[in-house]
């Protein structure tokens, strides 16, 4: 087995855990008997820019969740109504409506189709 594979996997976990990049590279390379520059180069080829790896993974996860919601209209609707229920009561009616429209776009639902649920939330 290529010794870089487990080292790169360990480095990816370290990056997701907010560990220091340079220190993690050094420690992991030493642990696996690799040179730090070689590990960095292979990791860049495998993972892309290391400095932005965590953010790119978070963006990917968010995109996957949104795709799953768009495939399941019940999940999308429930998530939308839950998001609307957590809106600040201090919003003006115009701000609230704008936020509802933004959330509808985010969750891929028709806000008008959920009007009854939104009205019930308002009465609480």
Q: Is 81 in the same domain as 114? A: yes
Q: Please state the domain count of the chain.
A: 2
13 and 51 share a domain? yes
Q: Model's pTM, two decimal places?
A: 0.61
50 and 77 together in one domain: no
All residues at 6 or more sequence positions from 102 whose CB lies less than 8 Å from its CB, including other chains: none
In a domain, 65, yes or no: no
Q: Domain range for residue 93?
A: 72-123
77 and 48 part of one domain? no
Per-residue pLDDT reduced to its tens digit, 33-88: 999 999 999 999 999 999 999 999 999 998 888 888 778 888 888 889 999 999 98
**Is-contact 7 39, C-beta < 8 A?**
yes
Domain annotation covers residue 10: yes
């Amino acid at each position: 087995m290529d010794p870089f594979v487990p080292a790169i996997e360990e480095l990816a976990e370290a990056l997701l855990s907010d560990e220091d990049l340079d220190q993690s590279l050094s420690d992991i390379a030493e642990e696996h008997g690799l040179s730090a520059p070689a590990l960095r180069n292979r990791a860049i080829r495998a993972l892309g820019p290391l400095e932005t790896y965590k953010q790119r993974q978070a963006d990917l996860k968010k995109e996957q969740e949104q795709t799953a919601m768009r495939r399941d209209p019940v999940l999308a609707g429930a998530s939308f109504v839950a998001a609307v229920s957590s809106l600040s009561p201090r919003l003006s009616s115009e701000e609230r409506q704008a936020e509802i429209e933004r959330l509808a776009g985010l969750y891929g639902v028709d806000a008008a189709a959920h009007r009854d649920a939104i009205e019930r939330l308002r009465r609480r």
